[in-house]
Amino acid sequence: MLIRNQRIESNERLSEKAKQRLSKSKADNTLKAYRADWRDFSAWCAYHQERDLPAAPETIVNYLNDLADDAKANTVARRVTAISENHAAAGYSGERNPAKSSLVRAAMEAIRREKGTFQQGKTPILLETLHVLAACFDDDIVSLRDRALIFLGFAGAFRRSELVAIQIEHLTLTTEGLMILIPQSKSDQLGRGSTIAVPYAPDPSICAVRAVQEWLAAANIHRGPLFRPFTRAHTLRDSQLSDKSVALIIKKYAKLAGFNPDTFAGHSLRRGFATSAAQHDVDALTIMRQTRHHSEKMVHRYIEQGNIFKENPLNKMYKK
């Protein structure tokens, strides 16, 4: 379990409310991942009769090498971060933090060299994929929700957590399309907020704005979560759809369209938008405005994937 910061806990001048808020300095999903990583490290230490807090640098290195037999380099690196965060929260900061020792850094460098850091991404849902999926939706209320979710998820380049967090109050319909307020997201931990625009599509069959309008009319909802789960009797619930449901919905229609559902996930929408935009010669900064990326590194990776055939030297050779 992630340890609460002792410097905060022992500060008698802070109210309990203030301590609770300071403990939320990191996103809930990040804390959840850290807790799981710390539990794994603690269990390993218990099995090997080693101390987990404070841990010796050698203990951490031995744990990482056992972990690296089956885990990816990026997973191992995240475990190091979790171990470091727990030690920092317990008051072992700076050089006193064993996870920041030169021995642990050297071990991580060796693991990265051996295993590499390449991550196989999920299949992107491209613009042309939307046309294929459009033929898979029925006219029932569940299909109307799913169509709106998939089309809006692509058009807004939403993370799945952002997509399910949209409230009807966050939507503004204009003559040109739909404006969506994102109060907070993974890349906006301080909650400054951002607004993105989704214009009407010339082809109504893949138009996210029309799909959202049709969903709202059929569901007859006017406030609260835009995307909600259903009961078994297809009665609409008042709660917010879970982010895991996004992946399941995408897999459902990918299978109906004849694709392998195992290669698709919630990230397929966001990745698909960026890759499709690159294929249509949209520049990196314009893509970043819609995806809300702060770094060009990942966007350029999408651009490279989008142009993998367009800029292939064989195309010029064949034309000759």
pLDDT digits (tens, 9 = 90+) for 142-195: 999 999 999 999 999 999 989 999 999 999 999 999 999 998 755 555 556 789
Tens-place pLDDT, residues 48-101: 999 998 999 999 999 998 888 877 888 889 999 999 988 888 888 888 999 999
Helix (H, G, I), strand (E, B) or coil at 24: coil
Longest dimension (CA), the chain: 77
Taking the domain 6-115, which CATH number applies?
A: 1.10.150.130
pLDDT attached to residue 285: 86
Tens-place pLDDT, residues 241-259: 998 899 999 999 999 999 9
**Can you spell out the DSSP letters for 207-229?**
-HHHHHHHHHHHHT--SSBSS--
Taking the domain 127-306, which CATH number applies?
A: 1.10.443.10
Q: Do domains 6-115 and 127-306 have the same CATH topology?
A: no
Other beta carbons less than 10 A from residue 236's beta carbon: 16
Q: Give, in order, the Cα–Cα distances in Å from 130 to each of 148, 151, 253, 312.
A: 12, 7, 10, 25
- What is the C-alpha separation between 272 and 305, in angstroms, rounded? 10
Supply 243's token pair.
Answer: 């982010």
Quick check: 58 and 20 in contact, CB under 8 A? no
- What is the C-alpha separation between 101 and 103, in angstroms, rounded? 5
> Mean pLDDT throughout 285-313?
77
- Known catalytic residues? 159, 186, 267, 270, 293, 302
Pairing of strands 177-182, 194-199: antiparallel
Tens-place pLDDT, residues 119-134: 556 789 999 999 999 9
pTM more than 0.85: no
Give me the residue spans of the domains in the chain. Answer: 6-115, 127-306
Quick check: 69 and 20 in contact, CB under 8 A? no
